[in-house]
Amino acid sequence: MANDNSFQDVLGRLEDVNKYLNLPPAIYNRLRYPRRSLIVSLPVRMDNGEVKYFEGYRVHYNTARGPAKGGIRYHPKVTLNEVITLAALMTWKCALIDLPFGGAKGGVACDTTKMSRDEIKRMTRRYTHEIAMFIGPESDIPAPDMYTDEQIMAWIMDTYSTIKGYSVPGVVTGKPVCIGGSLGRKSATSQGLVTVLLEAIQHLGFSHGNLAASIIGFGNVGAIAADILSEKGVRIVGLADSKGAIYNPKGLDIKAVKKHKADTKSLAGFKDAEQVSIDDLVCLQCDVLIPAAVAGQINIRNAKGIKARIIAEGANDPTTLEADAILKDKGVFILPDILANAGGVVVSYFEWVQDIQRYFWNEDEIQKRLEGIMTKAFKHVLAIAQDKKVDMRTAAMILGVGRVAEASAVRGLYP
């Protein structure tokens, strides 16, 4: 989860990038504040008859480029500060990829592992009711995030549609295909990450057939990325989930690992690997490190020990500001989150477009369009990095923040 200083890190990076953009003070200061933040209390009747209260949030950081776009997460440590941080990152991400969206994020502070399916459903419907004035296909389009999935998106769509009195599939993305979801959505973040990673490997002159990778996080993003990279010949040597980490320098059998995870609900105890701590795994030998779990996973405590030559950020905000400086001095090539994990929002955009048009594409077309957008974004960021002689994160911020600033300036200040 994001640390208490996460939004300060975002502002710090914004300040750093403004040294290259030299934005007018009025525009720069406008980008330092979220446009609107909503806090809601959610009374939910639990299965035992008790009414329990949860706190939820929805933040629109900036909507100069279009409707707000961003996921909804369910986690006991969700805070307003974290949601604002992630909404800001979504703003830069959508602009970097050149999607016609602003940035948003939402969340509910809850522990779904201790809730029944019906309790989660009732909480989701109540949350949707409370934020209904914020969301809509022309204003704010939520999507899945940590501990939310296509079923939760279906409940949100149904609740919103019930309020409106007619079906509104475009209110959320990441839905089941049977109610307007897009083919290719589940694997989109991982596909996009692998696309830019392979571009980076080619740029650096490496051969992906000789590379070893460790992945922190074995949820949807990490597990699918492991599958795709294995098929490309990359050796997966380390994996971690919330309960443990495993390491085998000769390579892990991903199919066997996934079966073990399905059987035991954890990576811990997998026989053909060394059992290590998550902190240790971050620093064990590998060529590519993919943090695909929570924010702040790479921090001042472990950054000096990292041996990877490439870091591809599958998670949002996984590297703290202090760790970033250490890794930059070490010469690590970082594919920042707002570039590396943007595949999810790209296919979310495709889904939104398909819902609005009521016309759906086949999966091959979606994969081809996704690869084209991610490749173009990588090359654009790389060109800025080489021209300005900056790292990839700074270059990505220059591109993303610059586009948001341009839209804000053109639209002007009202009244």
| Active site (catalytic) residues | 105
Q: 158: closest CA among 175, 143, 182?
A: 175
Ramachandran sector of residue 410 (left: φ over 0; alpha: ψ -120 to 50; beta: rest):
alpha
Specify the pairing of strand 333-335 against strand 274-276.
unpaired
d(CA 228, CA 231): 5
Q: Do residues 250 and 274 make contact, with C-beta atoms less than 8 angstroms apart?
A: no
d(CA 327, CA 204): 17
d(CA 214, CA 289): 5
- Residues contacting 169, CB < 8 A, separation 6+: 157, 175, 179, 180, 355
Exposure letters 359-390 (e unless 16+ CB within 10 A, then b): ebbeeeebbebbbebbeebbebbbebbeeeeb
Residue with tokens 């590396």: 340
d(CA 57, CA 72): 9
What is the CA 46 to chain-centroid distance, rounded? 30
